[in-house]
């Protein structure tokens, strides 16, 4: 949860997912959800705003990593 602060939740969610993974857990970042039902379900106070949901659990499967676009095609280093 957080205030209207751009994408500052991104490093928090990333760290949460990495910490879960390091403990053998799986998680998924959900950024698209109806705020009001979530607010009511979790009894979130008015001064906080949910900006991400991160369901965490033990994975039923352990798939191999998917193929990725090579780093060189995705990043341009400017000197």
Residues that bind ligand FMN (CB under 6 A): 28-32
Nearer to ligand FMN, 4 or 46 (CB): 4
Residue closer to ligand FMN by CB (options 28, 42) is: 28
Asked if 1 and 54 count as a contact pair (C-beta separation under 8 A), the reply is: no
Q: How far is the CB of 19 from ligand FMN (least distance, A)?
A: 16
Q: Report the run of H or E that residue 74 belongs to, with start and end.
A: helix 71-74
Written as six digits, the tokens of 41 are: 């379900």
Nearer to ligand FMN, 32 or 67 (CB): 32
Scan for tokens 């191999």, then name that residue: 64
What minimum distance in Å lies between the beta carbon of 79 and ligand FMN?
Answer: 29
The three-state DSSP-derived secondary structure of 24-42 is CCEECCECCCCHHHHHHHC
């Amino acid at each position: 949860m957080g205030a209207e602060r751009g994408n500052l939740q991104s490093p928090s969610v990333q760290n949460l997912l990495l910490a879960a993974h390091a403990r053998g857990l799986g998680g998924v970042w959900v950024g698209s959800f109806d705020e009001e039902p979530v607010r009511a379900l979790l009894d979130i106070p008015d001064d906080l705003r949910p900006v991400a949901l991160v369901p965490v659990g033990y994975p039923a499967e352990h798939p191999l990593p998917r193929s990725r676009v090579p780093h060189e095609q995705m990043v341009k280093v400017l000197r």
